[in-house]
Amino acid sequence: MIRIVGPFVPIPRWWLAAYAPDIPKVYDVFQEFLSGLTLSYTDLARDVRVDQSTVSRWAVGRSHPTPEQMKALIVALQSRITAIAAAAERASRAADALDAVTRAFLGTRGGGAAAVQKLRTAAQGLQEVLKELNADRPSRRPTGAPAARQPTARRRGGGRRRR
C-alpha cells in the first residue's frame, strides 16, 4: 500500500491520484483505502467539504474525486494524524507523571520526610500535566450555548406513574 519515492519518503499509492487522476488503477487503490478507513464517510465528507453521498460514490467506484478533492483529502488526513500524534504525546507525558507518583508512593513505605517530599513533588508534577491537558482540551459546549439543564424534581407519590 505504501510506495517509497525518492530518498526514503513513504507516499501512499492512492495519494498519487491527486497528481495523476487519469490512471484508473489509482482509483482502485483509492477505493481500497476508503474501505479500510476507520473514519466515517460523514466525517470524511465534512473534512473534504463534500456531501456524504459523494464519498459513498467514490467508495463504490461510481465517481472519482477531482485532484482538488484529493488534495483536500490529504490535508484533512494529515491534520487528523497530527492531532492523533499530539494526543499520544500528551498521554505519554501523563503516564510518565503518574508513574513518578506511583514510584514515589511506593518509596514512602519506609517513611521519612524525604520520601514524603518526593511524593509531594511527583504529585505536583502530575497536577501540572493534568492542568496542561485540560487547557489543551477543547470545550465540549460551543461558545454561547446554554448550560446543561438541571434535573427536575421528582413527582410526588413515589415516582410511579398511575394509569
> pLDDT (tens digit, 0 to 9) for every residue of the chain, 163 residues total?
444 444 555 566 666 656 665 556 777 778 888 888 788 889 989 989 999 999 999 888 888 888 888 888 888 888 888 888 888 888 898 888 888 888 888 876 666 787 788 888 888 888 888 888 777 666 555 555 555 555 555 555 555 555 5
12 beta partners:
2
Q: Please, what is the angle between helix 113-136 and helix 67-107, to 10°?
A: 160
Q: 75-100: buried (b, 16+ CB within 10 Å) or exposed (e) per residue?
A: ebbeeeeeeeeeeeeeeebeeebeeb
Give the pTM.
0.51
Give yes or no for a contact between 100 and 122, defined as CB atoms under 8 angstroms apart.
yes
State the Cα angle at 11 between 7 and 15, rounded to 5°: 145
Residue type, 20: A
